[in-house]
Chain A
Amino acid sequence: DAGVIQSPRHEVTEMGQEVTLRCKPISGHNSLFWYRQTMMRGLELLIYFNNNVPIDDSGMPEDRFSAKMPNASFSTLKIQPSEPRDSAVYFCASSWVDTEAFFGQGTRLTVV
């Protein structure tokens, strides 16, 4: 298995634009997580899914952020409209229930 695959690896966008980050979890895993990492706040859990269903989205900063998981092999995190303070590295991770989570390489987002 190639591991958790995220795309794009880098994204630079202008303030106000829509940004979509993509994630392909490890085949067979049933939990998927989206994290955001910044110098200010460290690694923050934004949302996690179990069996494609969002379980806890209390970490999503505001309504501009949304996440979907239409099937077991794909998830998106969308920011609309984007703001400079959204600049961060966004990680997707997946796991089998109650086991370690495997992380992707991350998407570095810069909003100018």
Chain B
Amino acid sequence: GESVGLHLPTLSVQEGDNSIINCAYSNSASDYFIWYKQESGKGPQFIIDIRSNMDKRQGQRVTVLLNKTVKHLSLQIAATQPGDSAVYFCAENMGYGGATNKLIFGTGTLLAVQP
């Protein structure tokens, strides 16, 4: 029979435009969040992280916003380039206490950059 896979949300943008990718997380006790980029045939690659005591963090061309009230993360990519085309995942650290890590990933968003 036909297999049914995850339906990845897709964001299609024009080269040079800004991109916003959203993510809802599940655990209000999570205190550390990470955005990853995964290109075809490769492992996830770290982009930017944010801790729960912050609302915003900026990197090179990327900004992460955290809204703890509604358990929402967003990744903003400025001046999107063809090389940004990939699947983007948010991950939350659901570890217990300060000495453990338990990174749980969302389902991902496919970013397609049109030249």
Contact = CB atoms under 8 A, between A and B. Distances in A.
Interface of A: 4, 31, 33, 35, 38-43, 45, 48, 50, 55-56, 91, 93, 95, 97-106
B112 to A, nearest CB: 18
Contacts of B42: 105-106
Interface residues of B, number: 28
Interface string B81-115: 00000000101010100111111111110000000
Interface of B: 3-6, 32, 34, 36, 42-46, 49, 89, 91, 93, 95, 98-108
Nearest to A105: B43
Nearest to A101: B103
A43 B43 contact: no
A55 B100 contact: yes
